[in-house]
Every structure is written in C-alpha cells, then in structure tokens.
Structure 1
C-alpha cells in the first residue's frame, strides 16, 4: 500500500514546488551536520519519531512517500499522514482525509481553526494521558499512537563491558535551578556517592546521539529524571539496550502551557510505557527506599523483552495502520460519518497497546 506522509518541522521542511523534496532533504543534511559540529542534539524528537514511523511502515511492506504533494492532489480521497507542526502544513490546502501524529497537537482554539483548513479525521498523542489535556467534549477525536523503537539500532547491550553503574539522564526542564536541584538531583548524586557507585550525568539537549549510545553501552542502569513525557524515546532506547530504568515519576503536571489547557486533574507520567520488567519508579519522598529495592533487583529486570513485545518498530507500524486503514474506506465520506477512535473502542493503557 502507498502511504503518503507529510512532515514539517525544524529538521525537514515541506516545499510544494518542483524540486522541493530534494531541496528539503539537502537542507536537513546541512542542518544535521551543522548541529553535530556544534555539539548540539542534531535532530528533534518529533523528527526521530517520524523517521521511526516511516521505518515501521516500510517494515510492514508499505510504500512510504514523504512530502509528495503531487500524489496527494492526484488522489484527493487517499488518506495521508501529517506529522510535525500542523500550521505550516495547513497552508498547502490539502483536503485528503488525514491522520495526525507524531507532532505537536495545537491548543484547542488553534486546532478548531486548522480543522477548517485540513480534513483532520484522527489526531494522536504518543500515549493516553495527554488526551486528558483537552476538553471532554472533543476527546473522542484523539487516539494514543506510540512510535516504534528500532530494536536493531538499539540491540541488547547487557553483555558489554560495563564501567558505569548508573547513567543519570537529567531532563528536568522546569524549576531546574531551584527546587528540583535541591530536593531531587543533588540527593540522587549524594545517594550514588554514598553507595559507592560510579555514575555519569548527561544533561538533555547537550549531547549527541553518539555520546548517548556510548554511555548507554557502558552503563548498567539508567536513572531517568524528567517531570513527564508523552512517550520518552530516550528511556525506551535504553530499555531496548536492556538497561533497567530507575525513573522519577512524580505524577504532577508541571508544564505551564499544558496546565493552562486543562480544567480538571491530569496525572501525567515520565514513563508512560513501563511495567515490572523495566525497572522501578520513585518519587521525591522515597528516593533511598526505592533505589535500594531497584539495585537489589537489578539482575532480574528484562526491559528489552518489554520493548520487543510492546514498542518495536513492527508494533508501532501496526498501531498506525489500525488507525489509518479505516480511513481508506471512508475517504470520501463526511468527517462526521467516518471512523473515530471512540467508536472503534480502542483500549490503550499506560502499560502499552
């Protein structure tokens, strides 16, 4: 099956003119090289997720075409996938039935405007909890859709020579210089020192993929510190490498832009895909108790088994197709008459699909 995907973001731009695809990929290569030279993260999480989605669909035998506006216009009833940022994609005037994600879901008021410009049938978040950010009356148009992890690119590294006990991945984004440094990050450093463990600390945004892979390969476990994640590719890549994860999971919505959206209580997670095979979660009031439990049980965890069963590229592609395929039969129907996630009785929990 031919699946037209469209992406517009910092990495890859969508250009609707002859030679636009070639120019877009040239720009992506130049940006990647420039950021790599600067020692900055060369790709955004949205683009990594998008490329994994493309791999997933190709693995299932589908023909994926990217930013092919000519094909979409020749086949206006053929469903398309939209990813990245919606406002730039809306300006091209495509009216094909569309499945959106991965990408940044616009705020409800902005989304209402975009829905008049695009034929959006299904909008997705990477997991279940962010759907609750939206008003109850519009949640039925959303569905959770994770992006698969490339388990070949992230093979089992548990047999590698280990020189680091703990890789501390510091992705604290709010209150980083104040409260969280005092009550979370420094106590964790003190704990590791008191237990006589070796560790390396990696700050989000200031490392390259090669540096991250090297540290993962030499570490016994990942200590993952972030307020909340809609999916969390970094910790899932480490789990694919068979590193058990000790995850700070406070269950508190901190992002001010997300807090402004919701009128009710939303309980987020830093590890929305996780079970007892993966490791252990902790909160600020039980750091030491939970870490000792985690460290004692370290040899028993099997996070790669969880990833292979739940989050592989094949699983990600199958999840996309479960949402995309019904749109093929409903391509010319009014939006009110087509498949919606609520009507399909899709059951997805924080433990996976």
Structure 2
C-alpha cells in the first residue's frame, strides 16, 4: 500500500494506493470522523463486483449503510438523478455528519461529489474509483458536477473529498474498451509532465492493461502530477490548473455529439490540439507527430468522426465553461512538457 497527500490546508487529504482487499479502506474510513451513517453510491455491475463486500464489512462494524444505485453512462450526471439522490438522503435522514462513498467511475464520482458539495451546504464524501480514468484523473482534485443543457459539467463545484482510495484490483473487472479509454487521460499527463514520462508511455502504451506490472506506478505518477497542479491552483484562479484541460475543449464537445467515452474523446481532442498548435506555429512538426503517434499506438480513436456537424461542434465549443468574452481558453502545445493557455475565437480554430 502506498500513500500520497494533496496539501490544501484544511482541505488536505490522502490518496491511498492499494492492490489487495477492499477491507484495507476500513481503518481510513474509521479515522475520518465519528459518523456511523454512510451511503454507497454506485452502479449495478460495479456494486455487484466490489460494493457488496464493502457493504457487508461496514454493516458488520456497526455502520448504518444504505445503497443508492444510479444508471450507467452520462445520463446519470443530470438534474434528475441529482434530485433522486437528494430525495434519498432526505428520506433516510442523512445529516451534515453523514458520509457519502462514491464507488465507481467518473460519472459516479462527479455526481456524488456534487451532491456532497450542495446537500446541507456540504457533507463529507470519499472517492473509490473503479476505472483507470477515474483513478488517474476525475477522483482526484475536487472537481464535481453534472451536465445541463447538453453541456458537460456546466453545473458544479470545487469540493474536495476526505479520501481517495485506489485499488488496482478493481481494474481487472473492466471491459477492455473501458480500461483503454482511460489511456487518454494517462497520455495527457505524459504530455504535461515532459519527456521522461512521455518517453515511457511511447515505449509501453500498447502493453498497458489491467495486469501490467507497472500499472500501480503509472497511476501514482499521474496522481502526483495532478496533485502538484491542484496544490498550486485548487480552483483555477491562477491558470495553472487549466492546463489539465488539455484535449478537453474539443474532447467534451465530441463526447456530447458522438457518445464516445470521455477518455476516447480526450484522445481525439489531444490530436486535434497537436495539429492546431502546429498550424498556429507553436509546435514543431516532429513534436506534433510524436504526440499523434502515441495516441494512435494506444489504440484510442484519433480522428474527429465524419458524422459530426461542424456547426454543431463550434456551437458547443462556444458554450464551453472556459469561454470568456467570446473567446475560449485553449490549452495549446508548445512542446512535450510545455503547454500554455491561449484565448482563441472560433474563427481561429478550423476543424482539421
């Protein structure tokens, strides 16, 4: 078992990296606070594989535990399912000291975190990610939210969990495509970090799988990179945290219009930004090729689907939450390990 800490003053918390039984989390839950009332928020298959054991352990220790199941997919990140969870917590008399446990991927974590941030003006929650994408990215950093009006994560809050518990054993139950989608975020961190991590991924990305012996170290590296950035700029006030949006401005819009998995759409977004950065004169041709080749080698989608209506795509980008006074803040590549924020109008971003 390994441990990292995100240092955010009174909002600091640990990231626990484990590789064996889910029971390892129990001492950490017991140390959080004195509540014995908690709710596991999950999805059917995930709860079947991982949640039932956690439920039984908590029950045996005297916890008052409830289970709240949400549907698979982005539809769960909606006003409807947010309200359903509010109603459930009220009906079960959850108070400000009760604990929410997000057991699932990014959808479960985002929804649970947002409800925790807003129910009774804030109750504690912990993240137990069960996908590669949520382990390396969405469970860490306190971004919570739901989709609204056809726009991803447009309603949300910065609200840090009390704990993140990552168990690589969970990833062995993932479908191959679901696991692979997480590589989009992993590659993002390789680009942000610079040449060593990027070079490692360039050599090994095609052999990374749930049983890959280097997987725990890879997840830890991603979490360390994100922790450093979040510690510098917890709520995107100075701009450094915006760098984590690499590939996401185009990626989010593609995800909404096509139904691609988040990590798949981020992969397409990274390729788009590499081409855009090259065309704008910021990224050398050979660097752009290395980045695009890495996405291709990973097996992720890399081209904008031809079924997308370009006007619809541009309209969604205009509504992006990073839009300020008619321009969108794009994360533009100047090199591997050198990414910067550029404010661009839609007229400056051809669909390439």
TM tier, shorter chain? under 0.3
Higher relative contact order (CA 8 A, sep 6+): 1
Larger Rg: 1
- TM-score (normalizing by structure 1): 0.27
Give the helix-richer structure, 1 or 2. 2
